[in-house]
Structure 1
């Protein structure tokens, strides 16, 4: 019996939700995530092709159609679409993931690419970051498609997210698409992440002049110059943090690696610094590079030394208003599944910023697993109950976002 307080349209949406949720199968999510873990895709050191093939098989079973875009040999981005192609009049909800995982490394208690289920957990490299989230997203999209085949849905799975982001760079080289919203299925421990700083990787190469350490004045120490640069970076980091405010705080600097010299008795003629710069949503990597170059130019120089900085990689940030319908829909979907649904910012970076900037669509991050406590570690694991909750929340969101759009004409 329909609740008298519900409009016919609301009753229809409630019925669609009920039918779609009945199709979400926890055991299938675990099986699909396990198949993806078995298809090892370590980056660097491997390719994502085997994982892409597994994804194509899962998509075919669920009624999706797939398209590869080659980024490098055996490294294709994969688009999985359900329903009609998106148009300006009927845009799609986009879900985003990546097919690569970080190298397994040492310290595992068993084979990292042999998925194990025990005590309510799925263990294996990629269980949390992010093959579990992808499996949950596909299960939700397949369920919604079976009930509402007229809804345009898309899952974009990129390569090389864990290293140089060449997959997403290839994607944004294409014309913008038509999207209502983007949900990044990265592990947030089922929090709704509405703001994410970007990241820029910068390389500084210092060139000096070698000499015998017995007469260091005959040379020009590249390490001394690099140390001055590192000191400026630390001071500028403190300056930015002192002005921190809002959900994201401030931009940050961090010198991740410094390498140079030949031996104790030689004045070093070279030194390199690898620098991490976290970006605010309105910043670009080129702006961070210019800031660093200005800082270097203002330092007291050492005759005979030069320093060149360049941008190696940029991942933009994003921020979505906490009152945005996308955020409200996500919180409501999680709450309906009994999850706490905190609304947070993220200290990590992800590819959602590329999507928000390129396609101009509101973006959030929401997925099963804990990026800090479980990802990129030996015995990486994800709670199976969280995979199920994520899949059911995605199901609710996909239907409700389209329902809201058809009623209001937009999610903005």
Structure 2
């Protein structure tokens, strides 16, 4: 039996809408709220602070959960004790039958000070799960795994993958290793990408990228009693920082659209030896938020031009380098992926607003590499809960996210022909 294009029709493609709705309801019935909380708690217990630790223990917990749910796991070592993990359900993806990809990361930011209890001992109270990583993003990963397993139980013919990378919170070496791998070279591998980062149950369709840059200023030391005999690296660094602040204001003045504009921020400045010495060195760490389609190399070139303008004839030299790049993305708000996400959330009693994100995430790498539509959607609040003491997530949001993912996975595969006729903006 074939469809209108002459392609063989699968068993499920010939089903009526009534049958499809029955499959969906059977999958939703398999979502277990308590199991999501238990799995998320196990992941929080597997501390994976970055920098300062490794993600290996978290990956082992994920492998255990995946095995229980029937998934196939594949480790890819990025660095010692730092493996990316791919968890696949259903058949392997092909260009004719691509997978829906859910994307997450296994590392968390350092716990820091100010917690009322051990940050890596998960606590459940008053409808909240508390612990480092509860929102960003071990809760989202646990919800995604429940959804994938539930869909696989009723639709074992659907290829679905959860990719969990290392080092997202620092240098993004995990996603970069994935992009360089043979898997990433397969054309048409992914039908769509859903990043399970915390969005407070909004559908995020646009996300700026990020570039981390370092500037090394070299001056000439001298006695502070005769500073004109030297060349102050700190004074020069201050002039560079002033140029950066001015360029930030210039870009913000031209902000428009969902994402506004690119931004600059000097996050750290360090140099000198003491009050009686003209400083011969100073370094700056700089954050540059990238617009979709903009690259880290372009930001570096812009910074280098600004440095040349700022330092003039002060007698110092300065070199800038690109430490890390995370591309941005933007998906057309009329794309079927976006509509599917909004409908899934609304079916679960959420408003499902469409928003842009001020943070960065690894979805831009997938969108750029594979050309597939990408959104961010997950439990927890990136600004109000993540990266803070007593990080927490609503348990009801964990369950809602799992059910929304379930709805999306079923409907996206049924609408794959329509999805392929649309493209992302950048």
Partner of 1:127: 134
Alpha-carbon offset, residue 411 of structure 1: 6.1
Question: Is the aligned partner of 1:48 residue 2:59?
Answer: no
Q: For residues 56 and 297 of structure 1, what CA distance do their matches in structure 2 show? A: 51
Partner of 1:114: 121
Report matched runs for 1:218-257 at 5 Å: 218-257=229-268
Alpha-carbon offset, residue 406 of structure 1: 5.3
CA separation of 1:349/1:301 partners in 2, compared to 1, >3 Å: closer, same or farther? same
**Runs of 5+ unmatched residues, structure 1:** 1-6
Preserved contact between residue 206 and residue 226 of structure 1 (Cα < 8 Å): yes
Preserved contact between residue 327 and residue 364 of structure 2 (Cα < 8 Å): yes
Question: Is the aligned partner of 1:93 residue 2:100?
Answer: yes
Partner of 2:4: none
Q: What does the per-residue CA deviation read over 1:64-121, in whole Å, with 9 as the maximum and x for residues that have no partner?
A: 0000000011100000000000000000000000000111111111111111111100
Corresponding residue to 2:157 among 137, 145, 150: 150
Preserved contact between residue 225 and residue 302 of structure 1 (Cα < 8 Å): no
Partner of 1:138: 145
Alpha-carbon offset, residue 164 of structure 1: 0.8
Partner of 1:80: 87
Length-normalised TM-score, structure 1:
0.97
Q: What does the per-residue CA deviation read over 1:173-219, in whole Å, with 9 as the maximum and x for residues that have no partner?
A: 02434100000000000000000000000100000000001101100
Partner of 1:176: 185
SS in 1 for 2:274: coil
Partner of 2:68: 61
Q: For residues 58 and 419 of structure 2, what CA distance do their matches in structure 1 show? A: 38
Q: For residues 238 and 380 of structure 1, what CA distance do their matches in structure 2 show? A: 32
Partner of 1:203: 214
Alpha-carbon offset, residue 165 of structure 1: 0.6
CA-atom RMSD, angstroms? 1.2
**Runs of 5+ unmatched residues, structure 2:** 1-13
Corresponding residue to 2:385 among 374, 383, 390: 374
Worse-superposed segment, 389-398 or 372-381: 372-381
CA separation of 1:131/1:300 partners in 2, compared to 1, >3 Å: closer, same or farther? closer
Length-normalised TM-score, structure 2:
0.94
Runs of 4+ in structure 1 over 3 Å off:
406-412
Alpha-carbon offset, residue 304 of structure 1: 2.9
Alpha-carbon offset, residue 410 of structure 1: 5.4
Q: For residues 32 and 297 of structure 1, what CA distance do their matches in structure 2 show? A: 53
